[in-house]
Structure 1
Amino acid sequence: MNAVPVISFEFFPPKTADGMEKLRNARTQLAAFAPQFFSVTFGAGGSTRDRTFETVVDIQQAGFEGAPHLSCISADKAEIRDLLAQYQAQGIKRLVALRGDIPSGEVSSGDFRYANELVEFIRAETGDWFKIEVAAYPEFHPESSSPGADIQHFKHKVEAGADAAITQYFYNADAYFRFMDQSRKLGIDIPIVPGIMPIYNFTQLARFSSVCGAEIPRWLRLRLQDYGDDLASLRAFGAEVVRTLCEQLLAGGAPGLHFYTLNQAGTITSILEQLDLQQR
């Protein structure tokens, strides 16, 4: 296991004042694990642009490192240039650069087709100001034509100037380790941090997974379905599954863990305490 695994957490920008208070409470609890950063998602087509900005600035002003997601689909270069300047003015030094989901009914992709083009643009506009995180897909991007094409797309993002990567979530550690082996064979040597999705309820997880292409192994799917409406038992079982996965990943050399929090802290806190990662 790594001596000091890097921990980070992802939030989504809340829509209401109550939602922001809930996020701040979760952030306070998760701060006990000395996260490297808190990232904030960016809606399809920039639909949460202002709320993402406000949430990241709130994190930054509270004394933590905020990392806004920045997706480029349907955006033009002037929009991205303006947003980069706003983040620089706030002293924000880290970005998660993504292509992003195509909004429903969207026809034009804007000035960018792929995430590597966004990374290139950020580097051309801002040099080394930002540490750039990109996405990686151990179980392959749902739009990828083949596993070989998928890993090449990832390599293009690295060559464009990415500093590190965060994976899509998964529940099969072997998928991550195979992806790492393939990446290293291609000369990719940036840190690749596994993304971890806690299990809160089966319906929600199945919906997320159908969209992003993450596999729910058959044994896990059937066990989760078997709990039915017994959410307490399902979450206890899910926490055990995720904790075991984290142990396997860290023991196998993963540089850290990135948690998709869904703006909740309780389950993640329990998992990290059992991994003995509190107050590092």
Structure 2
Amino acid sequence: MELSVEFFPPKTPEGESKLHLVRERLSESLKPAFYSVTFGAGGSTQSGTLKVVSDIHATGAAVAPHLSCVGSSRESVREMLKQYQALGVKRIVALRGDLPSGMGQYGEFHHANELVEFIRTETGDWFHIDVAAYPETHPQARSPATDIDFFVQKMKAGANSAVTQYFYNSDAYFRFVDEAYELGVTQPVIAGIMPINNSTQLLRFSDACGAEIPRWIRLRLQSYGDDVASIRAFGEEVVTDLCDQLLTAGAPGLHFYSLNQADAVLAIADNLSLDRLPRQIRQ
């Protein structure tokens, strides 16, 4: 079972200090297989991503920077790959990315499979490449069938594994994985997990990215109003149960969208005794 955690680049010195402490806590308790670091819309956090990646890599932990098609030329991606190779980074998350407001079109790469193919051509097997998966269908997909076809293309282009968008319905994950395997995918599909800390934030994120919040969860969260303690306790219970379902049924790993916070991830991991599980992907 592989456990990993996602961070985003902080925008302030205070945020950098907080992230350092969060990473130390997670590393000490869980020793994740790797940390991923997001890449802002249109490349807006490129320098911040590189700095966080460099800082994490310097500690000896495995780290995977995000690379996005949006606003990227072949030359700019080539230079980023060279920088990460020079650091000794061995893992990349290759994404299409979303167009930021005001940007009318993608750069030289239009789809993630093109980016994966380019990385393989430029660097061979240097990088372990992760791509995105959408168990509940990408919000911009023409249909579930076309969405899974695009996913299969990414995997066949040279991806080593995939990490899903977060979800709260395990059936959606297992149905997606089964369909992908029927279409020839053999690589692991790691389940993306979003802890619940703030109901307003979660509902906003979910509406934007197309992740479904089951009606019963949405109503319970709304019923708590501003009662933060009840929201977090309920969220911990729901997400722990989801993770337990996934692991019991054979999911090869969990990827936590931490939002640069440690408490919820550590609580869920403690409930599941994840600190005692091996850190290899189960094939």
TM-score (norm 2): 0.96
What amino acid does structure 1 have at the position aligned with 2:216? W
> 2 CA distance for matches of 1:149 and 1:127?
28
Residue matched to 1:118:
115
Residue matched to 1:63:
60
> Higher mean Cα deviation, 28-37 or 51-60?
28-37
1:21 positional shift: 1.1
1:279 positional shift: 5.1
The answer to whether structure 1 residue 182 and structure 2 residue 150 are counterparts is no
1:46 positional shift: 0.4
Residue matched to 1:127:
124
> 1 CA distance for matches of 2:63 and 2:178?
30
> 2 CA distance for matches of 1:83 and 1:45?
15
> 2 CA distance for matches of 1:273 and 1:72?
37
Residue matched to 1:251:
248
Residue matched to 2:3:
7
> Among 12, 16, 21, which residue is 1:16 paired with?
12
Within-5 A mapping of 1:37-52: 37-52=34-49
> 2 CA distance for matches of 1:201 and 1:109?
32
1:100 positional shift: 0.7
The answer to whether structure 1 residue 228 and structure 2 residue 225 are counterparts is yes
Q: Alignment length, in residue pairs?
A: 276
TM-score (norm 1): 0.97
* Residue-by-residue CA offset, 1:164-215 (whole Å, 9 max, x unaligned): 0000000000000100110111110100000000001111001100111000
After TM superposition, which residue ranges in structure 1, 4 or more long, deviate above 3 angstroms?
none
CA-based RMSD = 0.8
Residue matched to 1:217:
214
* Residue-by-residue CA offset, 1:139-167 (whole Å, 9 max, x unaligned): 00000000100000000001110000000
> 2 CA distance for matches of 1:206 and 1:122?
35
* Residue-by-residue CA offset, 1:4-23 (whole Å, 9 max, x unaligned): x2100000001112111111
What amino acid does structure 2 have at the position aligned with 1:79? S
> Among 151, 154, 168, which residue is 1:154 paired with?
151
1:129 positional shift: 0.5
* Residue-by-residue CA offset, 1:33-70 (whole Å, 9 max, x unaligned): 12110000000010000000000010000110111011
> 2 CA distance for matches of 1:6 and 1:208?
25
What amino acid does structure 2 have at the position aligned with 1:29? R
Where 2:97 maps in the other structure, the secondary structure is coil
Residue matched to 1:170:
167
Where 2:180 maps in the other structure, the secondary structure is helix
The answer to whether structure 1 residue 136 and structure 2 residue 133 are counterparts is yes
Contact 2:99 2:105 in 1 (8 A): no
What amino acid does structure 2 have at the position aligned with 1:35? P
* Residue-by-residue CA offset, 1:208-241 (whole Å, 9 max, x unaligned): 0011100000000000000000010110000000
> 2 CA distance for matches of 1:171 and 1:82?
38
> 2 CA distance for matches of 1:159 and 1:6?
22
> 2 CA distance for matches of 1:258 and 1:209?
17
Contact 1:94 1:131 in 2 (8 A): yes
Q: For structure 1, list consecutive stretches of 5 or more residues without a partner in the other structure.
A: none
